Amino acid sequence: MSDIPKDLSYTKTHEWIGNDGDGTITVGITDYAQSSLGDLVFVELPETGTKVGAGDGVAVVESVKAASDIYAPVDGEIAEINEQLADSPELVNEDPFGQGWLFKMAIDDETALGELLDADAYKGVVDDAED
């Protein structure tokens, strides 16, 4: 049973989004995503300062089994990346909603966050994927 924290937003492509409340968001992959991918061995993160649009592939997580693209959930600019993942990609497996965060974005338009899925809607996505 995957963990789906109530206080986060989600995408259909299994990113989670935390609103930092200061015009930035934190992005990671969900517990379901890390569990499906298996042990992560590399995380390729974007450069800070990169302008990105919602739906753009901005990062790659690679497990022993497969590589998976990570998409920007909204328009904005990459503000910070989780440097720890270069040496410890397993943090994404161990603590996907905490130390395993991927990057932070300064967002162009806060109202875009309203388009994201809430925890209940994302649970529906996971249930469908597991069927």
Partner 1 sequence: MAHRTPLYEAHVAAGAKLVDFAGWDMPIDYGSQIAEHKAVRDNVGMFDVSHMAVVDIHGPDARAFLSAVLANDIAKIDDIGRALYTCVLNTRGGVIDDLIVYHLASERYRAVVNAATAEKDLAWLHSQARGRDVEITHREDLAIIAVQGPRARELAGQAMSDETADAARKLKPFEGFATDGISIGRTGYTGEDGYEIVLPGDRAHDLWRRLQDVGVTPVGLGARDTLRLEAGLNLYGQDMDEDRTPLESGLGWTVAFKPAERQFVGRDALEHMRQQGVSHKLVGLVLEGRGVIRAHAAVRAADSDEDDPDAADGEVTSGSFAPTLGCSIALARIPRDWQDTVEVRIRDRWQPARIVKPPFVRHGKSLIEPD
Binding site for partner 1 (CB under 8 A): 38-39, 41-42, 44, 60, 62, 64-65, 67, 93
If the CB atoms of residues 9 and 63 are measured against partner 1, the closer one turns out to be 63
Report the distance separating Cα 82 and Cα 100, nearest Å: 8
If the CB atoms of residues 24 and 99 are measured against partner 1, the closer one turns out to be 99
**Least distance to partner 1, CB of residue 27, Å:** 20
Please give the structure tokens belonging to residue 14.
Answer: 């299994």
Report the distance separating Cα 86 and Cα 14, nearest Å: 21
Nearby residues of 105 by Cβ (< 8 Å), 6 or more positions away: 24, 25, 27, 52, 72, 74, 76, 77, 78, 79
If the CB atoms of residues 17 and 91 are measured against partner 1, the closer one turns out to be 91
Going across the sheet that includes 9-10, the strands are 9-10, 15-19, 24-29, 103-107, 76-81, 51-52
**Least distance to partner 1, CB of residue 36, Å:** 9
If the CB atoms of residues 120 and 127 are measured against partner 1, the closer one turns out to be 127
**Least distance to partner 1, CB of residue 102, Å:** 16
**Least distance to partner 1, CB of residue 106, Å:** 27
